[in-house]
Chain A
Amino acid sequence: MIVRMSKIEVAGPKDLLRDVLERLRGLGVFQVDPEAVKIKEEGGEEHVRSFALDEETAVERLFLEDLHAKIDDLLSSLPNIAVRESYIDAETVVQIVANAVPRHCSHSHELSERLDVLVKERDELDRYGIFLGAMASLVGSARETPDLEFIGLTIREPDMVPRLRDVISRITDWKYELQTDTADDGSLVGLITVERSIADRVKGTLHDEQVPELTFPAAFGSMNFPEKIAYVKKRVLEVDGEIATIRDELARFAKRWTPLYRNVRAWIDDRLALLRTTAQAFETKMCFFIHGWIPSRDLAGLRSSLAGAYGQPVVVDELEIREEDLERVPIALRNPAYFRPFEILTSLLPLPAYTSYDPTPFIGIFFPIFFGIILGDAGYGIVLAILAFWARRRFRTERMIRDGATILFISACYALLFGVLFGEFFGDLPERLFHLQPLVVERRTAIVPMLLFSLAIGIGHILLGLALGAVNAFQRNVKREALYKLLSIVIIFAILAIFASQFGIFPSVLSRPAILLILFLTPLLFFSGGVLAPLEFLKNIGNIISYVRITAIGLTSVLLAFVANELGGLTGDVVTGVVVAGLIHALNIVLGVFSPSIHSLRLHYVEFFSKFIEHGGRKYEPLRR
């Protein structure tokens, strides 16, 4: 149900505003809405204005916002580790925290920066390590002499090698050696050995050919290859050590301070929220006004709470909800315990308008029934009910799963019920094993009756939707829409009569007056629904036919179960038969959760709700602590 709301005005002496707001937040039922009143229309605008913050409050707000940003900055530079909670009263330590933040910030930033530098160096060392590793084998075969120079390369494309040989041999007059090897990471590295005197020319050429020469940082100095390798290994150890030290330091720091900062930040959030709300109040010379919404049944509680605390000076007035307010009324849904889990299905839709219906009870009633008819197997119903029961207990604290499991449980019960009616228990097992006949109908063979049955459901559902839509339109005083919906209902009945007389259920003379009735009503349809009204009306017919899916999806489930039993029977051996059939039944159960849910949801969202629910409500978001 959509909760009934009252529009109220809370007024009192100005100096009580902060206190009153604090109390309202504590109650957690009042939603501030400064636009709920149009003061200008009442001609009092010269006396009433938006509540202006006094200087002290403005300074406080700036201070807190600044502190909040600083704490955010600090916390984002610290590692996110699990920490205990702090129970220090934040209000008393805010000033101390504000003094400490800059120091802590620069400390943690310094640490993070040093860490970044080290991590970068570590990456580079890795690269050198890979390169040198591949190089070691190459260098081993080349003699190390002072007049030779080694040039390391990383070669991006293997096809480069012949071309490089070609170019370098031209410059060096064939006095060079180029060896290549694949490094650990799969890239190709090369080593050119040339006389020192022409090394620079070779390097220049490589530059032009865009083959990057691997240069080592200055720290490597004039070391030879074995020394470089040893150096890299040593340095990796050192850097790893330093990284670990800094990480420890950061973690220690975070462990020590994060709880306090989180606590203070939460307090600031709270405080700022309060300060921001004051800006939504109005003031005259002496008084403040706050306007907003409250669920009607909480009004008495609010009144007594405020009266108890302040007595006479603070007044709560209930205002009249005008027609233009209807769009502004916040929407809260409150349903009896049985329907509450189904709110997760309505939450997928936009909120209904205040004057419309809460879709939850309708889903709560029809969704499990449709699900049951589609699945319609007692065996599957039992399995799913047990599963749902288990999931409900296992995830008691997680609302989504718990509600989902509850819905599944209810739906599974209906599946069990319809399974009994259809005589299905893991498919046609009852008939196969005990020659039991279905109580009502056998879905596998009685396709046409089932089609008609689902059509009948569709007709009922759509007519209900149209009727609710008509009632709602009357209440909202939109006569044309109401008329259109009523006409649609009458025409659907007329069409039904025509079909019934065609198939001999009604006397066939009835079809002529029915046709005449439709012809007579069509102009009215144009009048009430506009030029496209007949087209819109045809959509109703399409919607009704859409309910055939109840039979169609059900049929696939029945046939899969039938196939499972048939295959199981074909094996001729009890154990294999049960395994084979069990596997297929398991698959069918998984499908049996998804497709019936999706299709019966769709029948609600698309076919049913479009007939009577108006969307577009604002969410109810009361002031809360």
Chain B
Amino acid sequence: MGWEKVLIAFSAALAIGIPAVATAWAQSKIGSAGAGTLAEKPELTGTIIILVAIPETMVILGFVVATMILFTVK
């Protein structure tokens, strides 16, 4: 048990944590804009769902990187 393990865990945490915060921020903005759009044009529901979902890819990529750090860096 060395500092190395701590560092690896910490890096993995950062790799998923930062994109998670970024995703949340982006979704909050898109979400409130989307709510505004829906109030004006309800027929755009599908488009809004897609737009709100798009930033999620960031956190998924973060997850991939985090797992790569945890499982491949030994």
Contact = CB atoms under 8 A, between A and B. Distances in A.
A606 interface: yes
Interface in B9-56: 43, 45-47, 49-50, 53-54, 56
A605 interface: yes
26 contacts: A348-B45, A348-B49, A349-B47, A350-B46, A350-B47, A447-B67, A447-B71, A448-B67, A542-B57, A545-B57, A545-B60, A545-B64, A546-B56, A546-B57, A546-B60, A548-B60, A549-B56, A552-B63, A598-B53, A599-B56, A602-B56, A605-B46, A605-B50, A606-B50, A606-B53, A606-B54
A549 B50 contact: no
A542 B63 CA distance: 14
A548 B50 contact: no
A468 interface: no
A548 B60 CA distance: 7
Contacts of B45: 348
Contact of A349 (B46, B53, B61): B46
A182 B25 CA distance: 48
B28 to A, nearest CB: 17
A427 to B, nearest CB: 21
Contacts of B67: 447-448, 451
B46 A552 contact: no
A599 B56 CA distance: 9
Contacts of B46: 348-350, 605
Contacts of A552: 60, 63
Nearest to B51: A606
A595 to B, nearest CB: 11
Interface string B58-74: 00110110010001000
A350 to B, nearest CB: 7
Interface string A346-374: 00111000000000000000000000000
Contacts of B47: 349-350
Given A549-B63, A552-B63, A606-B53, 14 more contacts: A348-B46, A348-B49, A349-B46, A447-B71, A448-B67, A451-B64, A451-B67, A542-B57, A546-B57, A548-B60, A598-B53, A599-B56, A605-B49, A605-B53
B56 to A, nearest CB: 7
Nearest to A350: B46
Contacts of A350: 43, 46-47
Contacts of A601: 49
Contacts of B50: 602, 605-606
A598 B46 CA distance: 12
Contacts of A348: 45-46, 49
